[in-house]
Structures are given as C-alpha cells and as structure tokens.
Structure 1
C-alpha cells in the first residue's frame, strides 16, 4: 500500500485565549485554510488544524489539557516574548504584508531583503504570537555546512 501524500512532518502547535477568534483571524489575515476544526458541545474550538500550502499549524484554547497546562503559555504571560516563531513561505511578501496589516496585524519588522536570500517581514497576531513571513524557501536551496 502506497503512503498517503502529506505535508510537512513538522507541525507547530499554539495556544490562544480565544481559539475561535484565532482561527478566523489567521485565515483572514495570513491566508490559512481550515483543515479540521473540532468544537465542544457549546460550539467553542477545542482543536483546530489550519493549513498553508503543505504546512500546518494546530491550535487550541490556552492551556488546553494537561500537556498545555504543564508546557505551554501565552506571549502575554512571557513578557510578550515567544519561544518559537512560525515561518510562512509566500511568493509575494509585500502583498502578504499589506493583507496582514489591513487585518490588524502588528508589524514588528517591515518587509526587507535578507542577506541569506529572499525578502521577509514579521507580524504579531492579536494574542501576541510572532510570525515570520518571507519568500526565502530553505527547501529550494542546497544545504550548506
């Protein structure tokens, strides 16, 4: 039996105080698509899988479950700092920047050309997670080192 095609073997997981709002905002501002969204009996998001090209992020309510309570926190409880930044690869950085800014993203680094190639910008979502969006595709270049 052939393996089923899939995206990246790495999937980032994020917690949000308002997971419902996060799903809607990430789709509107950054262009994610809902892959699967699981809701509780009152309709609140308990787990969501959002795709961007062949990549995916999973998200849920802040400190959902024992794992989240023990190992995750929100940027606001970490002094607005993040221990991980999710990178999104896009073709048109400036158009993506304009879309995100129009949706209310806080631009923390304006679009600029990078020394390693490509162009990128960075934005903070409404709950403080920082995202790096750029045209540099590390899969498209030969590894060095």
Structure 2
C-alpha cells in the first residue's frame, strides 16, 4: 500500500464537484491535494485532506445514478476530529455567513463536544472534540466490548 493511503477515506458524490471542492475548502478549511478535471475544467474527482485524513469527492450527475438504476447516493455522517471545536465552529460560521443556520457546539454524554453542518450536497459533517473518556449511559443501557465484558449504565 502506498504511503499516505492507509485506513479509511470517505468517497463522497456531488452533482457539482467543482462547487463542492470550493465549498469544502472555503467553509471547512480542508486542503486540496489534487483535482482531475474534464475538458471544460469541471472537477470529476478530487482529493482533499482534513488533518491526517484524506477525503475523496466525485462529480456525478443524475444520469450516473439512473444508469445504475438508483435515485442517488444514500446519506452518511462524516466525523472530523478537531482539537478545538469552538475555534472550528467560529471559522465555519464566518465562512457560511447567511448560507445556513448553525447550532452551536454541544456537550454530549459520550464525552465529546460537537456541532454538525450539512454541505451543499446534503452530506452531514460533525466536528468532534473529545472531552472525556467517560461515556454516560442512559439508565438500563450497557456497554459491551468484544469478549463479553460489559458495564451497566
């Protein structure tokens, strides 16, 4: 395996990858590594970097999905781990301006402070700052690890 290509990378489809690439770099601050364009200069595929992780995007219109016999890609949630979710929120909020309304970061019972925003393709992105290793389970829930070890909430 080539160095730098390890682990897991999301591959996200957009009707307009050129607009998506501009939006992801402007709003989230992702770094563009490479883009592959058609003869008209439209992005067909691009690789971005978010911290140490790679993200692949592709531009495919409705004809692509119709040829496969499906309506389009199904949704997913992408988690981006950050050191300071407040700082990231401020940058995203400033970049978006009036494009959409954001909920401020919230502390979660699973030891994280997060906020979520949808991109122009409808993909959800949660920016996550780990705040604790402790997970607060609701009453009656339990955490089960491989091998059967569990803890009750």
| TM superposition score category, shorter chain reference | 0.7 to 0.9
Tell me what 1:46 maps to: 44
Which structure's residues are more often helix, by fraction? 1
Q: 1:84 pairs with 50, 54, 76, which one?
A: 76
Q: For residues 116-127 of structure 1, what are the structure 2 equivalents within 5 Å? A: 116-127=110-121
C-alpha distance after superposition, 1:6-65 (max 9, x if no partner): 254211111112211111111111111111100011111010111111211111113489
- TM-score after normalising by structure 2: 0.72
Secondary structure in 1 matching 2:80: strand
Q: 1:95 pairs with 50, 62, 87, which one?
A: 87
Call closer, same or farther: CA 1:135–1:69 in 2, change over 3 Å.
farther
> 2-side partners of 1:68 and 1:117: how far apart?
42
Secondary structure in 2 matching 1:135: strand
Call closer, same or farther: CA 1:57–1:65 in 2, change over 3 Å.
farther
Supply the RMSD in Å over aligned alpha carbons: 2.9
Secondary structure in 2 matching 1:20: helix
> 1-side partners of 2:66 and 2:9: how far apart?
16
Q: How far off its partner does 1:73 sit?
A: 2.2
Gaps of 5+ in 1: 75-81
- How many residue pairs get matched? 132
Tell me what 1:21 maps to: 19
> 2-side partners of 1:47 and 1:64: how far apart?
16
Q: For residues 60-139 of structure 1, what are the structure 2 equivalents within 5 Å? A: 60-63=58-61, 70=68, 73=72, 83-104=75-96, 106-107=100-101, 109-136=103-130
CA contact 1:113–1:120 (8 Å) conserved in 2: yes
